[in-house]
Amino acid sequence: MNIHEFKENKAQQELPKSLVPHEAELARFIDLCRKTCNRILTLLAIGLDIPENWFTSRHDPVLGPSGCTLRFLYYPSIDSPASSTFKHGIDVRAGAHSDYGSITLLFQRDGQPGLEILTSTGEWAPVPVRPITDGGGGGATAAGSGKGAIFPPILINIGDLLSYWTAGLLKSTVHRVVFPQEDQQQQQQQQQQQDRSDRSRDRYSIAYFCHPVDHTELVPVPSQLVEERIKQNTIAAIGQRQRLGKSDDAGDAGEAPLTAREHLAGRLAATYGGSKEEYQ
């Protein structure tokens, strides 16, 4: 389920009846997600040695609409009737893909592994829900949820747009969601001292997809690091732009820069079929 941008703390779409009483909480959560992304974008700008507000000024909702989306995700357990035809090693909960926007924030629940990333060697590697397991951290205290209540850390993904914007210097991670293998289940059970097998659990997660304002022109990020990346890997940079179509050589002489909305439309068209115009 997707929830799009709020205006003046009000949803701009019809919410399910179960969520209507929680509209204010949703608005607050989305605002906190946006602020978290802005903090990350600021740190990335510092790392690229460009003005600290270079990215955030292009993600300001005051300037117009964007593709920012909050998504509630549900993956049935292996024991669910919906998974009755599942073939281990063949079927997955969510196929290999990369995210479209600038940054993705992923909120997961304990005891629900299954996320995998594609490594630089072309192998799939499981992503632990809690990277730190020695008792020294790996989570934050959930405000208002009782003393000692802990939730897992937020997983942060770089998206296609930020990768495109930086000529591939910041890499968009290809990932998928699978049914946990037995060894993953055992490890997770030991870490969390679970009584119930992870294999029989449904997976719930929340993703916040951060996008720039629609009309943002994706001109090259004015960083020397990005310029060096383009010079050192020109062929790869051109190929990345061309994957979205003929207009994706934005920034070349004589061609208009691609906008954030056009970039998103191109990715949607490539994924679901049709033309870019259908998604603009």
What are the pLDDT digits (tens) for 114-153?
788 899 899 999 888 876 654 444 555 444 444 444 778 8
The reported pLDDT for the residue numbered 138 is 52
pLDDT at 263 over 70: yes
Residue 273 and residue 143 share a domain: no
Domain end among 210, 235, 262 = 210
Residue 127 and residue 204 share a domain: yes
The reported pLDDT for the residue numbered 87 is 56
Distance CA 170, CA 158 (A): 7
Name which of 92-96, 201-205, 250-254, 262-266 the model is least confident about.
Answer: 250-254
Share of the chain above pLDDT 90, in %: 45
pTM for the whole structure: 0.77
Residue 191 and residue 153 share a domain: yes
Domain end among 182, 210, 238 = 210
The reported pLDDT for the residue numbered 47 is 98
The reported pLDDT for the residue numbered 14 is 92
Tell me if 185 is assigned to some domain: yes
Instruction: Please give the structure tokens belonging to residue 39.
Output: 């903090």
Residue 272 and residue 205 share a domain: no
Residue 136 and residue 45 share a domain: yes
Residue 248 and residue 157 share a domain: no
Tell me if 215 is assigned to some domain: no
Q: Which residue did the predictor score with more confidence, 175 or 221? A: 221
What range does the domain containing 244 cover?
Answer: 224-279
Number of domains in the chain: 2
pLDDT at 244 over 90: no
Residue 109 and residue 74 share a domain: yes
Residue 52 and residue 77 share a domain: yes
Instruction: Please give the structure tokens belonging to residue 111.
Output: 């005891």
Tell me if 218 is assigned to some domain: no
Tell me if 219 is assigned to some domain: no
Q: What is the pLDDT of residues 30-61, one digit of tens each?
A: 999 999 999 999 999 999 999 999 999 999 99
The reported pLDDT for the residue numbered 251 is 44
Most confident of 50-59, 151-160, 198-207, 215-224: 50-59
The reported pLDDT for the residue numbered 112 is 74
Residue with tokens 């629900």: 112
Tell me if 6 is assigned to some domain: yes
Residue 67 and residue 145 share a domain: yes
Residue 203 and residue 234 share a domain: no
Domain end among 210, 235, 265 = 210
Residue 150 and residue 15 share a domain: yes
The reported pLDDT for the residue numbered 136 is 47
Residue 148 and residue 253 share a domain: no
Residue with tokens 């979205």: 244
For strand 103-108 and strand 203-210, is the pairing parallel, antiparallel, or unpaired? antiparallel
Q: Which residue did the predictor score with more confidence, 158 or 280? A: 158
CATH of the domain at 140: 2.60.120.330
